[in-house]
Each structure stands twice: as C-alpha cells, then as structure tokens.
Chains A and B, each alone.
Chain A
Amino acid sequence: MKQFDYVQPKTMDEALASWEPGASWLGGGTNLVDLMKLGVAQPQRVIDLTRISDLGEITFQQNGSVRIGAMVSNADLARHAGFAQHFPMVAEALLSGASGQLRNMATVAGNLMQRTRCAYFQEETAACNRRTPGAGCDARDSDEEARALLGASPACVATNPSDFCVPLAALEAQVEVRGVNGTRQIPIAEFHLLPGDHPERETALEQGELIVALHLSAEAARFARHARYLKVRDRTSFAFATTAAAAALQMEDGIIVEGRLALGAVAARPWRVAEAEALLVGQAPDAALFARVAEAAMAGAEAPVHLEWKIDLARRTAARALAMAAAGTPARLPALPASPFGQQNGDLAHV
C-alpha cells in the first residue's frame, strides 16, 4: 500500500489538530485498512483514534437516554447488559454483523462510516463515481447483487451494508460529531446521504469532523418489548444482509400505538417510510396488515430483471420482522441473532 503518516493522538484536541485534507480517522481498521490494501482508500495520514480514552464509554443519563462513545467496540456494545435490555434490536443487529473477531475490533463510529461493499467500488481499476467523481459506474449494468432498490441515482446504485445503522434509523439515533468549529448533533436520518449526482458525498460529516458519540433517547427504549432485527442471507452467519429489517412496536392492550420500520441493504441508507409506519397505528397486529406496511415501505422500488426477486424478498423480510416484533422481544437473544432460524434460544451459536 501507499506510504502514509500514522499518528496516535491522546486527546480530542490533538486529534482535531492533526487533521489535514487527505487524512483518515482510524477506528478498528477493519474496513479502512482493507480498502487501503486494495488501493481504494489512499489516505496521506492515518489518525488512530483508539488511544483517546473518553471515546470508549457507554453512559446512561438520568433520564434513561444513552451516550455511546465512538470507539466503543461493536462487541462491547452488544454485550452491555443495560444497553441490550433497553435497545434489544440494536444488540441483535450488532451480533448479526460480521464475525466475533471483527466485532471485537470494529467501533461504533467505524460501523456508521463503513463504505459500501459494491464490488466495483472495491476494485481500483473499475469505474466508480463514488470513488472518482465523474468516472462512471461499472456496477449499473453488471450482475452485482448488492444493489440499491430504492433511492439510487444514475450515478450510483450502491447500498449501505451496515446492520447496526438499520435499528439506529428506526430508533432515530443522533450522531454527535465534532470539528474545529465545535460539536453538533446530526439525526441519523440525515447522516447517510443518497447518491444523487454526488455519490462521493456519503455522509453529512464535514471535512475534518469526526464522530465522538451516538445518542439514543429514553423514548427509543419504549419499544424494547417489541423490537426485532431480521437479516436474510444465504449463509447463516458472517455474511452481509441480502435484505434486512428492523421493526419496533409500542403496543397497548394488543393494539399498536406506534410503529417503526427500517429496511437494510436496499438503499444507500437505512430506508424508512413514514406512510408505511403510519399504517400501523391503532391496528391489531396481523399478517395482512404487515404485508400492506411492507408494500408501502418498498413503494417505488426498482430493480433490473435479474434482481426483481429482491424487491419481493425485502417486502417479505419487512413483514416478517414486524410479525416477530409483535410476538415480543425474547427474554434472551436467540442463539442465532436476527436469523430466520433464530427461534431456538441458548448460547450464541458461533455467529
């Protein structure tokens, strides 16, 4: 790989001061380092954030909201008892992602910032607007399966591969970012950008800003009893989602008071549709309702002929996730988190 500077700031101020155009923040490195080896990412300077101690905490506030430091590992967050109790589908999504080794390394911020898995993005010699603005898009007319069904543009059809971000979107997390001009909060719905004419702009982060924390509100915890993440894929574990859905319901006397639904792997960001969620309100859970909601959530989906099945699968995934949420969050995470084969409880089954 290309030569680069490597710095290890100990404080936030040092970190911000060491930034320069062409630098990259380094979390666990499970995505960035791979891309550097492929020549897809070529930072001049790599700023390792793992030595900044106050980025690694999970703090519950008095009011029940939680602040998660940017460098908390995916594994630690998923296994944090209090967190998993309040936000079970986030823990479930985390545990369905990647593998044990990767989750130990991967950070919260790195997961939010992970790049698309589009095979043409990852190949230096392919044309990719996201990598090189104006270069063209080799994925568009390819057999690539990781392709957006919603929110794509002529310039880019890539998807966001994160599992974690899908329940975060459903629960309306806030991303706390910091730059030389101070700190601001970005709602997760505005954090990942759809490609439009500028697929190279992937997030709302400004140059030199970094993620310092993630916030989930106390209200988000009110879904805890009916919240599930479902991830469909050909391999039982250690594979990105073919389709995924996070469904959260607030139920009173068997009636849905409020519902949230976010779909994964279908667009460049987790996909939420207000009209679809509105259909849930005041209804008793049933399969026909969930099918209608899923239909509404996928409204406007488009796929080339070879991927039409995926629109169908995304709808089925959404409807099933809603049904699972309605059935109630299990007391313990299933042995295969987020899996259609996850009915069986018990120790995690080597996922």
Chain B
Amino acid sequence: MSDTLSPEIRFGSNSGQPATRRDGLAKVTGVATFAADNTPEGLLHAVYAPAKIARGRVSHLDVAAAEAHPGVTHVITPQNRPELQGDPSGKPTMFSFRTEVLQDDTVRYAGQPIALVLGETLEAATEGARLLAPQYEVDPVRVALDDNTARGFDPGGFGLPGGASHGDVEAGHAVAARSIDVSYETAAQYHNAMETHAIVAQWDGDRLMLDMPSQALKVSCAGFAYFFGIPPENVTLRSPYIGGGFGSKAIPTGPQVLAILAARMTQRPVKLMFTRQQMFGPAGHRGATRQRLRLGVDENAALTVIDHEGLAETSTFDDFVEPAANASHDLYAAGALRASHRLVRLDVGTPGPMRAPGEASGSAALECAMDEMAEAAGMDPLEFRLHNYAETQPGTGRPYSSKALRECYAEGAARFGWEGRPLEPRQMRDADGLMTGWGMGTALFPCPMFAAEARATLRPDGTALFETSAVDMGQGAWTVLAQIAADSLGLTLDQVEFRAGHSALPDGGVAGGSAHTATAGGALHAAGGDVLRQLGELATADPQSPLYGAGNSSLVARHGWLLLEEDESRRERFADILARAGKTEMIGTGHGGRAPEAAGRHAMNSHGAVFAEVKVDPDLRQVRVTRLVGAFAAGRIINPRLTESQLMGGMIWGTSFALHEAARHDRRSGRIVNADFAGYHVPVNADVSGLEVITVHEDDPYVNALGIKGVGEIGIVGTVGAIGNAIWHATGKRVRHFPIRIADLLAP
C-alpha cells in the first residue's frame, strides 16, 4: 500500500449519521478518568508558586517557613533545582517554546512559576507555596501594546508568521475611488478549558509514565524525553479524556516539566494540577493585537486593495505572533493585497495558538473593516462581499478545491431573513423599544493536514480493532473516528473496538488546526483499506472462495462480507476467509496526510457566513445577541450532531470574543487582575439565544481522500465581526476594539 490514501472511498452506514458520543455515558457517570483523577500509591502533590509581578527578580523566598509547614516535603527553587538534561531554551519539537522551569530568579511575566512545593497533601503543598511569601526587585512593567517599541521580524517557523502580498499595493491605494484606514484592537484572551492543565508523573528506572491531557501525544513524549535525556519511546503518555484543549494542551508547560523532575528527584509519583488562576500564566494565551486595515474600492465597489497590518504582543523571551493579518489572504478578490505582521515584546507569558489562531482576531478586524468599506460604498454588506467574491485564490489564481461560500451566504441570509435590512444604522427598534441591528461576517479557515498512522486488526469473529493515538478533547473523536473506522471495513459501529489516547498506539498526530478528523480519520480509513486489500488477495487467489479469480479492485465490503461489486451473489464472510487461510487475525496499517503534490494544486479552505442580530438598550447601552445564524461549508460531515456542537461552540466563543473576554492587567505590577471566572467572563446560557447552525453540502474531491475539511475552529471566525457590525447597525457607533462593552457605547 502506498503512503498516500487510496482514492477509492467507502462510506458505509456510519458516516453522516448523528451518532451520540460513545464516551458520553462514561463522562456523565463519572467513570471516565481525566488525568488528575489518577492517584497512584505514594503520591506527592506539587504546587507551584506564581510570580505576582511581571518583571524583575525574586530577591527572597521564605523557604524555611514553607519547609516547616506540616506535610510539606520539598521546596524546589532555582537554587536547588535538580538538573535537567535538555536546555529549557531549546526547541525539541515542532511545538516548543522556551520553557519556564526555575532556570534562574528573573521574573518575565506575572504567573511565571518561581518555586515548586511538594507535599503529602494538596492542602499542605498549597499552603507551603503561599508561605514562601516572595519578595522582589521590581522593574517597570510593559503590558500594553504601547508600552514597548513595535518591530518587524524575520518570519519562519512556529510563531513567526510570514505575510503575503500580491499585486501593486501602492497602486491599489492610489486608484481607489473610496478608501478606509481604520485600526482595530483585540484583547488578550487566556485558554480556560474546563479541565485545567494537569499531570501525574511516575518514574520506573528511566521509563516515565504520564497521565496528562495532551492534544499531541507523540510530540509531547518527544518534548519530555528531551528534558530528561531519555529516548521518546521510554515515555508513555495516557490521555484518554481531555476537558478541552483549544491549543494550549499541545505544548508542554514548565510546571508539568517540573512535576516530572520532582517525581524523579523524590522517586515518588507526583501530581500537579493548575488552579483556575494559574491558567492565566504559563499555559499560553491569545496575544492582544492592533490591526490597521486600509481598504480601497473603485467606482464599481470592486476592492482595489486590502492592506492588513497586524501588530501582536509576544513575550520578552520567545516568539508567538498572532498571525492575524493572514486572515485576509484568501478571502476576497482584491486587485492587490498585503498582509504583514510586527511584534511588540511585553512582560507577559509567551502567547500560543488558541482556537483559530490568527483567523479569529484577524477576521474580527477584517470583517468590520469590510462593513465599513461597504458603508462607504453605499452597499449592503452581503452584496458587497458577493461583489468581491474570490472565484480563485487571490494572487495565485489557483482553483479552490471546493468553495460553497456562495451557498453559505444564500442559505444563511435566507434563514436569518437578511433581506430588507435597512442600509442605514439606527433604523430598527423592537416592540420593547430596544435598538436592533443586523450584521454579518464571512468565515474562512484553512484545511491543513498533519501526519497520522493507524492500525486495524480484523479478528476471527469478523469484528475489528482500530488503534491510533488520536485525541478526544471533547470534540468527539471517540465517536467520529470510530465511525470512519467502521466504514472503512463496512462494519457497524458496535462491531468496532476503537482505542486511542495512548502514546503506545500508532501515532495519531496532533489534534489541532481543525485537521484531526481528516488526518487521523484518513489513517484509520487507510488501515481498514489495507485489511480489505489483504482479504481480497487471499480470497481471489483461493479456488475454494466464491470470489476466486475476481479482480481485487471490484470487491466491496459490507456487514462483514466481501462481495463482488457487479455480482453480489458472489461473496464471502471476512471470518471465513481468515479461517480458511488459517489466520487468527489480519492486521492492516494506514497513513493519513496530504501528498505534497496535492497540496500545491488547489487552495483549500472551509468557509462560512455568520449573521447576527443584537439588541441594545437605548439608555443603558447593555447589549445582547438575540440571534446568530451560521452557515458553514466544510466538506464532508461525518457526524452532523457533533459538528453542530463544534460550530455552535465556536460561535459562542465568537460572542465571547466580541463582548466579554479580556485579560486585564494591573498597570504597576503587571498582574492579571481578573484571573478567575468571577472576573474573566465568557458567555453564560442567558447570553446565548437563537443560535442556529446550517451545514452546507460540499463535495471536495481534492482536500483529502475522505473529503473532510474540519469544523473545529471556523465557528469563531466571522462571528466576532458579525456581532461588531450588528452593534454598529443598531447604534450607529463603530467601536474599533473587542470586547465591546457598555462603556464604549455610552461614550458620546
């Protein structure tokens, strides 16, 4: 079998079905074990002390007080930290940041670990960490975008995004009949999955066993192996259930490395779990941005130029620049385009990928700017977007592998009732006198693929086992991947055992980039195909088989039978083929990924259109999103129920981005002052009403063998802009930053 996917696709009765979560019962009954549910014998609890200033050095820690506290066993500080074999500034894997592991006493951001306390109980370790009562030498902090100098950088690698340009941008500006030049800001947001980061580490000689939520099992194993100077295969990582990841659980964090170090030092299992407050520190975040957008249109409202400059914060010691301007690459047909990025170094933790990195913040600014441009051109925002629809990829002219965006616009607008929307703002009031506004935004998310491997084992009873170290962080991989696996052998879901979430299994790749279903699913599909190929070879070469002499390619699998496509009376059970060949099982392997040559020919993106209705109290200026309709085209939908959940979750996050989420820093210490759920707000039920998701049919023969594009992130994209635009439409106020709050709308 070649290492690309077989072009032949077998969809059985599973794909396309709204199967309920296979792990649902285990989760609602509490049987599912999340990492921190593991409590091996002899366990020590580790708690790290976070810095409460953002810049300076730790001048004193009251180690004696901590050590004297009953139940505290060890206090690890930069003075006595055991050695690590890997340099914490090194980048052993594709997702690595310089890791904060007590290498010195400098403080680079608030929330940075400055000591680790071990105790016989969680309470003892927690109090021990508090008793350290750190003292600092404090340097002036820089936590706002204007607090340091913005600068360019050489793009390359993870975290340093390139830009794009095509056409003559200056000419695009010069020929524009109408232009806008606007700046939008987006606030820093912190990943706050329901399950905070956790780890339980146990050593056995030079073998390491980890229970830890991970979006990238094998990559994490390699990362930890590097720190401890052991081969990656010596690390076993179990991550069967993950309470949300959103990008932050793809990258090992400093406190997790320290917990492993503590386990090696004490030769006891060690557990560490972040508190909610600690999530606002070393686990990454979506960096704040300021984006300047200069758009121009000609007399006919055709875009002459999109000029999108992004400025994003990163830490003083590592690079992750939110690739916001890249949101403008592929979306609209403009005569010329420039997307570029600059960074500003602040005393914050290193940002990282957070659900729809770049697209979420970039689209927020772009979609509002498009609305402003439509307004300047005197055009309906939807009509304006259709008018500038990209039929082929801007710049390259490459065809799209598929693009049902026009249908998304049409179906979304029809469901929402967009027609008849007044062009001018402040035209609509509801029966209660609330100002009402309608806005829309386009969504785009690329379709990357990583690499994954899978193994299928056909058993003598005709059932099958499928294995890959894939990741379910709540998105539904346990279910969706099993559906794909079952279909690859023409079996029903209950005839398939599916194992995932364990690093000893074939590499399931990374759950990120909205690529996991396509990639790991592709591997499973290929593994099933490999079994069928072998079965076919056996049967067609065996004179005793009804399939004897038939060509392998004309065989199909259904309900545990192999059948001849043109004459289904010629068939044989999998089990019988195996039995006659004297085999107790048959193993197939498969690879998922995109062949390099396929990557070049087409531009590949998921698309969507989001329509929002907001109501604003005319005096109090409190805002509520009353309706959100999102229509998305994302290739083949394996499970409509879980897809709807993903897209809804994304749109709710979009609401969060537009109206709520923002980390607020104390200007003097640099501490985040709203570092808990009482202060860091995300939408609650009462903020979400009238949420509707439409998936638009799309066949994509190029994106990958299964035609899957991914639905994990695109829901956020488009929603933020749609809400911002609806607020303008309701109130006539263009607020050019997110989140938009009462205070912004009260201002004259």
Contacts and interface: CB of A to CB of B under 8 A. Distances in A.
Interface of A: 1-3, 39, 99, 117, 119-120, 123-126, 138, 142-144, 232-240, 242, 309-310, 312-313, 316-317, 319-320, 336, 339-341, 343, 349-351
Contacts of B617: 340-341
B620 A143 contact: no
Contacts of A3: 70, 127
B123 interface: yes
Contacts of B432: 343
Interface string B669-680: 101011000110
A117 B514 CA distance: 39
A261 B127 CA distance: 45
Contact of B741 (A123, A234, A343): A234
Given A39-B130, A120-B666, 12 more contacts: A3-B127, A119-B674, A142-B668, A143-B664, A236-B624, A237-B685, A238-B686, A309-B742, A312-B746, A316-B619, A336-B686, A341-B434
A336 B739 CA distance: 23
Contacts of B623: 234
A242 B622 CA distance: 10
B537 interface: no
A242 B620 CA distance: 11
Please indicate which of the listed interface residues B659, B664, B686 has the most CB atoms of chain A within 10 Å of its own CB. Answer: B686
B687 A235 contact: yes
Given A313-B742, A313-B746, A236 B620 contact: no
A234 B746 contact: no
A117 B667 CA distance: 19
Contact of A234 (B659, B667, B668, B678): B659
A126 B672 CA distance: 12
A234 B747 contact: no
B743 interface: yes
Contacts of A120: 666, 673
B637 to A, nearest CB: 29
B746 A341 contact: no
A290 B130 CA distance: 51
Interface of B: 52, 70, 123, 126-127, 130, 432, 434, 615, 617, 619-624, 659-660, 664, 666-669, 671, 673-674, 678-679, 681, 683-687, 689, 739, 741-743, 746-747
A349 B679 CA distance: 22
Contacts of A312: 746
A234 B681 contact: yes
A1 B683 CA distance: 30
Contacts of B674: 119
Contacts of A340: 617, 620, 622
Nearest to A230: B620
- Smallest CB-CB A-B distances: 5 pairs: A350-B685, A237-B686, A236-B686, A119-B673, A340-B617
Nearest to B664: A143
B686 A350 contact: yes
Nearest to A234: B741
A104 to B, nearest CB: 16
Contacts of A238: 684, 686
Contacts of A126: 666, 669
A316 B679 CA distance: 24
A116 to B, nearest CB: 13
A234 B622 contact: yes
B718 to A, nearest CB: 22
A122 B705 CA distance: 55
5 contacts: A1-B127, A2-B127, A144-B673, A237-B685, A313-B621
Contact of B620 (A117, A239, A317): A317
A234 B680 CA distance: 12
B620 A237 contact: no
A343 B671 CA distance: 40
B677 to A, nearest CB: 9
A235 B127 CA distance: 34
A283 to B, nearest CB: 20
A236 B667 contact: no
A237 B685 CA distance: 8
Contact of A232 (B123, B620, B669): B620
B667 A142 contact: yes
Nearest to A100: B685
B619 to A, nearest CB: 5
A53 to B, nearest CB: 31
Please indicate which of the listed interface residues A117, A138, A239, A341 has the most CB atoms of chain B within 10 Å of its own CB. Answer: A341
A69 to B, nearest CB: 27
Contacts of B685: 237, 349-351
Contacts of B434: 341
Contacts of A119: 666, 673-674, 679
A36 B664 CA distance: 23
A237 B622 CA distance: 12
A235 B673 contact: no
Contacts of A123: 52, 671, 673
Given A39-B130, A143-B667, A232 B622 contact: yes
Contacts of B747: 309
A125 B134 CA distance: 9
A237 B687 contact: yes
B681 A239 contact: yes
Contacts of B742: 232-234, 242, 309, 313
Contacts of B678: 117, 240
A309 B679 contact: no
A313 B669 CA distance: 30
A328 to B, nearest CB: 15
A341 B666 CA distance: 33
A316 B620 contact: yes
A124 B432 CA distance: 46
A270 B549 CA distance: 90
A138 B667 CA distance: 11
A39 B681 CA distance: 23
Nearest to A119: B673
Contact of A1 (B126, B659, B664, B746): B126
Contacts of A242: 742
A99 B623 CA distance: 20
A2 B624 CA distance: 42
B743 to A, nearest CB: 5
Contacts of A138: 666, 668
Nearest to A118: B673
A237 B684 contact: yes
Contacts of B667: 142-143
Contacts of B668: 138, 142
A104 B521 CA distance: 45
A1 B622 contact: no
Nearest to B275: A37
A120 B683 CA distance: 25
Contacts of A39: 130
A351 B127 contact: no
A193 B687 CA distance: 35
Nearest to A146: B679
A1 B666 CA distance: 25
A320 B667 CA distance: 35
A336 B668 CA distance: 38
A193 to B, nearest CB: 24
A120 B668 CA distance: 12
B280 to A, nearest CB: 12
Contacts of A232: 620, 622, 742
A239 B621 CA distance: 16
Contacts of B123: 1
A341 B615 contact: yes
A339 B620 CA distance: 11
B622 A341 contact: yes
A125 B666 CA distance: 13
Nearest to B747: A309
